Amino acid sequence: MLRIRAFRAIDDEPTCELFAEGHKNVLLEHGITKVTTSNKSWFYNPGVIVMVIESEDGKSVYGGERIHIVNDFAPIPLVEAIKVVDDKIINLVNGYKGVGAAELCGLWNSKYISGRGLGQFLIKIGVALAMQIEIKSLFALCAPYTVKTCQNSGFKILEEVGNNGTFNYPKLDLVATAVKIENLKNITFGDPEFEKDILSMYETPNKIIQHIGESKVFDINLQLSLELNFKNMFL
C-alpha cells in the first residue's frame, strides 16, 4: 500500500529532503538541470504545504507536489519562472496577496510508480487540499500533457500573460501553460468524474481508497487532513 500524506514544509525537513532529491533526479532524467521550483528555500517557507507519495514507513518518497501560498516570504515559483519573459505576471499575482492565493507546483513521480495514473491523481489532490485550507485562487504552470487534466480539475488558461498563456519553459524546446482557478468556492469542473473525486477528498481527507491505475488496482492510504488555513501561514 502507498501512502499520500500532506504536511507543512517547516514541520518535516527530512521528508522535504527526500522530496527534493527525488524531484531533482526525475528532472535530470529529462535533461532539465534548472527550474525555479527545484531549489530548497521552500523548506523554510511557512506558506508551503507538501504532498508526498511515500512508503508506509515514510522512508521512501516516490513522488509529490507542493502548494505555495502567495506571501511575503518569497515569490511563488510561477512568478520566478515567467517574469523573465513576461513581467506582467508580477503585478498580476501580487494583486492576490493576502486574499488567499497559491500555486500548485513541483509535481513529479518516479519510475517506481509510473503507469499507475498518480500524476493525474496528484492534481486532483492538490485542488482538494487547496479547498481544505481555504485558498481562494489557485495558479499552476503545467506541461502540455497535463493541460487537459488541469482543465478537468477546474483550471482555466491564464491568457493575460505570455503567448495566450504559454511559455517556453523550463527549456526552449519545451512549452508550459499558465492556468488558474479563480474561485475555489465556485469551481466549474471540466469533467464530472474529476468533480466527484476532488469533492470526495475535500470532504473526507483521511481514508483508504482503492485506486484504479493504468495497469493495476491498489490501495492508497490518504492522510490529507491539515488543521490550518492560509490565514495563519505567514501572510
pLDDT band for position 33 (50/70/90)?
Answer: low
Average pLDDT over residues 45-73: 94
* Residue whose C-alpha cell is 487534466: 149
Residue 39, all three cell numbers: 531549489
C-alpha closest to that of 43 among 14, 4, 72: 14
Which are the contacts of 28, defined by CB distance < 8 A and separation ≥ 6? none
Report yes or no: 115 and 75 within 8 Å, Cβ to Cβ. no
pLDDT at 66 exceeding the cut of 90: yes
Closest by Cα among 125, 120, 129 to 102: 129
Rg (C-alpha) for the chain, rounded Å, is 16
Tell me the pLDDT tens digit for each residue of 173-232: 788 999 999 999 999 999 999 999 999 999 999 999 998 777 678 899 999 999 887 777
Range with lowest mean pLDDT among 55-69, 123-137, 204-218: 204-218
- State the fold for domain 2-232: Aminopeptidase (3.40.630)
The one-letter amino acid at 67? I
Grid coordinates belonging to 175 = 512549452
Provide the pLDDT for residue 162.
Answer: 87
Q: Identify the pLDDT of residue 36.
A: 54
Domain ranges in the chain are: 2-232
